[in-house]
Structure 1
């Protein structure tokens, strides 16, 4: 009887034992299920993104036709009164429109900053439309404009590449024929980056072969440092350098000497 019971238990174990490939099959089924769910979710998200992008492009096209095409052409080809926008990219459109320089109020030596004419959503639609028609420089990533670069190296790069127009402290300066380099005080890091990569007005283009992304991040960090740290020497006199400082000394310094001299002479008489 004991032998029979033992044989019965062994038979039951054989009957209940899983096939060696059962675990492999379960893993494959699990992977396929997970992959299928992920693919469906990704496809759905991609479809939503594409639909949203297309909606932005359509809205931007309407805004462009109503506000920009008369100067830049319906196909971005440019006209006698406005340059082509083919290849300018999203960065250029965002810079020009979000600083109020465009639409242009009146012709002149250069477009000047003025109150913005569009909402943020409309600006996004405009630069998305132009970028979709012809690719070009895009908006900066957060890492580049975060202000976490090397401020000392950024100051050196700024003095070499930018100070001849914008002044060593970013105060701006006059150029020829009524043109000028604007002050960089208070300018957002996004606009500084966009100006470097698109070269608005009289500014040259600094692509990644001229200044790497790290170089641009360092320059932006330097300008942020200037904004956050006022002049330690007292009145900065507009940060215009020796001209304003010399004028201050000439008017107030020599003026004080002359006044004291006159007072001493009058007293002695």
Structure 2
């Protein structure tokens, strides 16, 4: 008993107990932690074809193995590493024409899509093979008919309106960046943007906004797209900025024109 008590009082016993506790905690977390959505297993042919497309069109910025590449100027990054971004990020960036970028810029604007959907899926399969990441959502995940627009509006106003405007019309941010308009954006790309957080947008994973809540947001934006403008022209739904500009430009212009006309008539 004395020998056992001496071992318990040994200074190394505390460190061993801490290491054992950390190991047990790590294994327990790995067993119960939620896993990110994974794409369905892709064929080796799709992965190989996707890698060829990637090397030919994306490697100049993102590296041959998607490891990322710096410009060499003040350690700026030309293209970030892509391991772990998932097929959803590829589908969004390439499927909206933002990638490949035509030239370096503060933000990648939406442009003409340069690849067909099969090629986009192949590049997504290659990127997904590098590390686990968000998968492309199913049609059921993004179907606005299954969402609740009222709930989606509440979630959108809390999480998105400060950048994208209350009606999803977009808005300016700092240093030349901007939140793009969501008018006419496909439900799939809206869902993928929330999953992957493109540009300066934060990532809204399933722990932050549940899949059904993402669908509610899509339903809300679809209602806004289809809603008639009962009050006349919406002026971009940008609020007092465009309304004030309209009042000054047209209202003041009309008053000046009337003043000139009255002056000429009296003369």
Shared fold by TM > 0.5? Answer: yes
Distance in 1 (CA, whole Å) between partners of 2:261 and 2:108 is 52
- Counterpart of 2:59 (choices 42, 52, 69) is 69
| Secondary structure of the structure 1 residue equivalent to 2:182 | coil
| 2:186 paired residue number | 188
Distance in 2 (CA, whole Å) between partners of 1:135 and 1:163 is 30
| 1:165 paired residue number | 163
| 2:88 paired residue number | 91
What TM-score results when the alignment is normalised by the length of structure 2? 0.77
Distance in 1 (CA, whole Å) between partners of 2:101 and 2:258 is 53
Stretch moving more, 73-82 or 171-180: 73-82
Match status 1:78 vs 2:68: yes
Listed as ranges, the gaps of 5+ residues in structure 2 are 1-39, 71-77
Larger radius of gyration: 1
| 2:218 paired residue number | 220
- Counterpart of 1:243 (choices 241, 244, 252) is 241
Name the count of aligned residue pairs: 220
| 2:10 paired residue number | none
Matches within 5 A, 1:189-208: 189-208=187-206
Match status 1:144 vs 2:134: no
Distance in 2 (CA, whole Å) between partners of 1:247 and 1:69 is 45
Distance in 2 (CA, whole Å) between partners of 1:257 and 1:218 is 46
Match status 1:114 vs 2:104: no
Shift in Å, 1:207? 0.9
Distance in 1 (CA, whole Å) between partners of 2:101 and 2:249 is 40
| 1:130 paired residue number | 127
Stretch moving more, 249-258 or 211-220: 249-258
Match status 1:153 vs 2:151: yes
